[in-house]
Structure 1
């Protein structure tokens, strides 16, 4: 008799067989083209949450979105994983849009508002606690805990967009007149809506003089 683990793993294998059949019967030739390389116009930096897959939310096909995900869509200048993805996306793939996508009800953001310890992730959540520190007065004035978390989700997206724009990778792209826009968006999981946070940057002109390289 199969164990529960075996059954769940077999579901993955069966799902792959269905996908292979779909690819085999597709007549558009797009999978044959994808096998030769990728040419996405979008870099998506999102949360690792299983409920927010980039392609489904944006209605895009395989090969159209280059994706990096971590807990609470954090972009920090010391994260070599994120920077490597960013460098490849901007300088090799030449993406035109970078989207930082948070989502309402984010567990990482909610945890960052707690004084509880959760393990090694506490060190990662300090980046979000720093966002709270910058906006503590506004956040503390919100009484409802869900609204408090969701507002911090929005502010976290804005701060991570700013962090991306201050990287040498993005600024050098702008310096070289490469068309590149960095956007902040928030997903409403319940409705599926991708909400523009109106914090788009297309140059370093509004970053502030100590952040904008010459």
Structure 2
């Protein structure tokens, strides 16, 4: 009997954890058979070309929806894929990915039917999440006229798009990211994942090159003044 066929996967959904462990053994066995070099290669280190910043939503697993393998994508996920200036977690991930892993692309991904977006639109008290979602609520207030002119589903999708575009602008104000853009052509992308179809849609997030160059020059000037 083949190794993978001997692995018994629980049929009951009562214990999700045990089911997950069994599925892992099944996956590892099949993967090792289909691509014998993969796990030995991963054991030597990682060389991803993409940093993926997405939402923690269970319906948006980046490696699965991209059709890629372990080792292909470096990942950071949080509630509603929010980019905070003072968030040490995302800042650490960005620095490690850009400086040490030398990723070639940063992808910021929002998605439809996002609970964080819905919470920001509803403006209800949620506890600790209120602080986390504050940037989203600011975006809602800044675009209130537009959002109020749309139906609930369209407004949620529009705020998700606005959130991605705002997050990319924040990333482009990060000196580490700016240096990588100028020195080695790091590319930034904004996408929206449709959970109903499984399709990623690219958003128009381009900025004029002179705007980016001006920002780079500003940071260079600032760093020079600090040193002196």
On whether the aligned pair clears a TM of 0.5, the verdict is: yes
Q: Tell me if 1:185 matches 2:191.
A: yes
Q: Tell me if 1:51 matches 2:59.
A: yes
Give the 5 Å matches for 1:125-164.
125-142=133-150, 144-164=151-171
Which of 80, 92, 99 is 1:72 aligned to? 80
Can you give the 5+ residue segments of structure 2 that lack an aligned partner in the other structure? Answer: 1-11, 221-228
Q: Tell me if 1:169 matches 2:176.
A: yes
Matched position secondary structure for 1:206:
helix
**For residues 26-67 of structure 1, what are the alpha-carbon distances to aligned partners after superposition, in whole Å with 9 as ceiling and x for unaligned?**
444022111110111100000000000111111111111111
Report deviation, 1:89.
Answer: 0.4
Residues 32 and 39 of structure 2 are in contact (CA less than 8 Å); yes or no, is this contact kept in structure 1? Answer: no
Which of 22, 25, 29 is 2:37 aligned to? 29
Which of 85, 96, 103 is 1:95 aligned to? 103
Give the 5 Å matches for 1:6-25.
7-25=15-33
1:197 counterpart residue number: 203
Q: Which range is displaced more, 77-86 or 58-67?
A: 58-67
Report deviation, 1:5.
Answer: 9.7
**For residues 134-175 of structure 1, what are the alpha-carbon distances to aligned partners after superposition, in whole Å with 9 as ceiling and x for unaligned?**
222211221x11111111011111000111111111012234
Matched position secondary structure for 1:184:
strand
**For residues 77-105 of structure 1, what are the alpha-carbon distances to aligned partners after superposition, in whole Å with 9 as ceiling and x for unaligned?**
10010000000000011011100000011
Residues 13 and 19 of structure 2 are in contact (CA less than 8 Å); yes or no, is this contact kept in structure 1? Answer: no
Q: Which range is displaced more, 59-68 or 41-50?
A: 59-68
Distance 2:215 2:185 in 1: 23
Residues 63 and 73 of structure 2 are in contact (CA less than 8 Å); yes or no, is this contact kept in structure 1? Answer: yes
Distance 1:38 1:140 in 2: 46
Report deviation, 1:115.
Answer: 2.6
How high is the TM-score relative to the length of structure 2?
Answer: 0.84
2:70 counterpart residue number: 62
Tell me the number of residue pairs that the alignment of Structure 1 and Structure 2 aligns: 208
CA RMSD of aligned residues (A): 2.2
Matched position secondary structure for 2:193:
strand
Can you give the 5+ residue segments of structure 1 that lack an aligned partner in the other structure? Answer: none
Residues 136 and 163 of structure 2 are in contact (CA less than 8 Å); yes or no, is this contact kept in structure 1? Answer: yes
